[in-house]
Amino acid sequence: MLFKQQALLRQKLFVLGSLAIGSLLYLVARVGSLDRLQPLCPIDGRFGPRSQDEIPLRALQFKRGLLHEFRKGNATKEQIQLHNLVQQLPKAIIIGVRKGGTRALLEMLNLHPAVVKASQEIHFFDNDENYAKGIEWYRKKMPFSYPHQITIEKSPAYFITEEVPERIYKMNSSIKLLIIVREPTTRAISDYTQVLEGKERKNKTYYKFEKLAIDPNTCEVNTKYKAVRTSIYTKHLERWLKYFPIEQFHIVDGDRLITEPLPELQLVEKFLNLPPRISQYNLYFNATRGFYCLRFNIVFNKCLAGSKGRIHPEVDSSVITKLRKFFHPFNQKFYQIIGRTFNWP
């Protein structure tokens, strides 16, 4: 009797085991067939519509994986063609201003699934040697993207370089131009601080900010000092307006981008005719860093490089007052041109 029960039990276990193995083999075969079939699916069907008004959110996920591999050069021509990826000339450029927050703006805009950023400053239009290489060289410096996405690059030297407006106009007369500015005196000191840090790394001495910003012979503001000249925003913008109407520019408040980034980013989304996608979820304040960091999804977060937010050296208050008084009339003219005011002294 016991022998029969044991035999029956072994038979049942054998049947159950066979069913389990059969199910597992079916699943493996099924997944394999899906993997083989997936590349045959139309790209449009898998990633949603291409229209500018209906940006597929799934493209955001792809940007963090597939496009990252392509940027590193780990893709074949067949893979690029399969996914319908292209290297596009930028439809928008962050042209300045140096130490205004250009890197922060670019990284934050990259949160949008319809935006793909160039990871490095290209310096095509402000560098004669690069410019001589031609527009095709420039295009090949751009990241891979889907046709519906907007490629954006940033090179803050563009804003102050005389030849650049005409060169960009010849490439695309309808391009959208982004300028991010900070309070002019603060920006000039930040500019000085970055150069000072570079000198210190090389164990070189450097003049104090006061000696560079103020002409010792006249005791007036030294307009030959590059950090001062860059902060005269209206002078540079007037040169750009010879080629582009003011409607093609959007001015971003760099000071507000630090303390309250979302409203500034929403204004840029509107300027670029992008559907609103960046939300408060994508931005969180890092108390240790003192800056907002970026949240792309539940897994991937990113903070700006540690070089951001350098501590400025102490500057004589009388020099700060003199600089602010000097910049004031230029600021007023800048407000009139752009139709926006800032809380600058």
pLDDT along the chain (345 residues), means of 10: 52 53 45 33 33 43 53 58 84 97 96 95 98 98 94 98 98 98 98 92 90 96 98 98 98 96 98 96 88 88 73 94 98 98 94
312 annotated as ligand-binding: yes
Residue with tokens 């072994």, as numbered in its chain: 10
Q: Do the annotations mark residue 43 as ligand-binding?
A: no
Is 234 within a domain?
yes
* Domain residue limits at 181: 77-185+229-307
Query: Does 311 count as an annotated binding residue?
Result: yes
Is position 270 within any domain? yes
The answer on whether 310 is annotated among ligand-binding residues is: yes
Q: Is the residue at 156 inside a domain? A: yes
* Per-residue pLDDT at 310: 74
Answer whether residue 218 is part of any domain.
Answer: no
> Helices 317-338 & 184-201, crossing angle to 10 degrees?
120
* pLDDT in the model for residue 89: 98
Tell me what pLDDT residue 13 has: 53
Q: Is 93 among the domain residues?
A: yes
Quick one: pLDDT at residue 61? 47
Maximum CA extent, the chain: 116
CATH of the domain at 113: 3.40.50.300
What total number of domains does the chain contain?
1
- Residue owning tokens 């239009």: 125
Would residue 50 count as lying in a domain?
A: no
In a domain, 198, yes or no: no
> Is 99 annotated among the ligand-binding residues?
yes
pLDDT at 96 (0 to 100): 96
pLDDT, position 59: 45
Residue 297, domain member (yes or no): yes
Q: Is 99 a catalytic residue?
A: yes
100 is in an annotated binding site: yes
pLDDT of 185: 98
Q: Which of 63, 99, 117, 176 is catalytic?
A: 99
pLDDT of residue 9: 52
